[in-house]
Amino acid sequence: MANKPQAGKYKILLVEDEKDLVITLRDKLESEDFSVTTAWNGKEGQSIAETGDFHCIVLDVMLPQRDGFQVCRNLREQGINTPVIMLTARSAIEDQIEGVETGAESYILKPFNMSYVHAVITTLLRQRNIIHAKYIRNKDEGIKGIKITTKDQKFLNDINKLILENYADPEFNIDKLVDTSYVGRTVFYHKIKSLTGLSPIDFLRQKRLHIAAQLLLETDYNISEVAILTGFNDVKNFSKRFKEIFHCTPSQYRDDALVGKTID
């Protein structure tokens, strides 16, 4: 039975059947402000990964009931793109290639240094955070070297294109976005969540709000017009949501820009 993660921390799923290694890894990670959920076999690990909301999965290759290669492959086929680090004593290059081909981001050979595992996890999380920022804010700074598959890149590009074509329609919601994205609802949810860090609803709303911010800076539309143009029928709700993201009202955002202030 898996232990439950604590709230407010980066959540790691550790799938490993060596008890001593689990204890050592869990103690190391939890001392570094991670929250660790453990699973003892591949079948259980995959089930938890499918239902939980994890920032990273640390996955042994040789597991009872279902090996790590198959677990990672199954998760990727379902559109779950949570970063995966594989642990193994199998050092053959063929095994390492297979690990990468299943969709794992990193392949660490046993025995390993605990600090190295920690460094790999933090690097993957930092890179994923940069990806999240890029696709929400449409900024390109610091993107070089980020690992994202061509398939995932095309998925996000297609979603962004659909939003840009339909953001002004107040009836363009997640249901319509899923219907026009050519993937199932479950795959869509997992892909958006793992690639952007947001639920699909929050992702669509934030894309609309960043478009609104651009309109405020580049056009003479008033606040009500910008709200309507970005799919918000309720101006008060628009202002409230805008302030949640930009920490100021739409009018303050425009005024600050006019006097030369920089707003993130």
pLDDT tens sequence across 212-252:
998 998 899 999 999 999 999 899 999 999 988 888 899 98
Long-range (24+ apart) CB contacts under 8 A made by 155-158 are 155/181, 155/183, 155/191, 155/195, 156/195, 156/196, 158/182
Name the residue ranges covered by the structural domains of the chain.
10-134, 149-258
3-state secondary structure at position 48: helix
Cβ neighbours of residue 63 closer than 8 Å, sequence gap 6 or more: 15, 16, 17, 41, 42, 45, 71
Banded model confidence at residue 132, pLDDT cuts 50, 70, 90:
low
Write the pLDDT tens digit of every residue in 151-174: 777 888 888 888 888 988 888 988
Calculate helix-pair angle for 185-196, 114-137, nearest 10 degrees.
Answer: 110
Indicate the residue type of 54: F
Please state, in angstroms and as integers, the Cα–Cα distance from residue 96 to each residue in 49, 159, 232, following that order: 22, 33, 49
What would the two tokens of residue 212 be?
């609104």
Residue 105 has pLDDT above 80, yes or no: yes
Banded model confidence at residue 142, pLDDT cuts 50, 70, 90:
very low
User: Counting Cβ atoms within 10 Å, is residue 236 exposed (0-12), middle (13-18) or buried (19+)?
Assistant: exposed
Q: What percent of the chain has pLDDT over 90?
A: 31
Please state, in angstroms and as integers, the Cα–Cα distance from residue 149 to each residue in 75, 94, 116, 164, 191, following that order: 15, 21, 24, 23, 12
CATH architecture of 149-258: Orthogonal Bundle (1.10)
In angstroms, the CA 112 to CA 118 distance is 11
Residue 1 has pLDDT above 80, yes or no: no
In angstroms, the CA 16 to CA 68 distance is 9
Q: What percent of the chain has pLDDT over 70?
A: 85
Angle at 94 between CA 88 and CA 96, to 5 degrees: 40
Tell me the whole-structure pTM to 2 decimals.
0.58
Calculate helix-pair angle for 200-218, 150-166, nearest 10 degrees.
Answer: 60
Please list the alpha-helical segments (H only) found in the chain: 19-30, 42-51, 68-77, 93-101, 114-137, 150-166, 174-179, 185-196, 200-218, 223-229, 235-246, 250-258
- For the chain, the average pLDDT equals 82
CATH number of 10-134: 3.40.50.2300
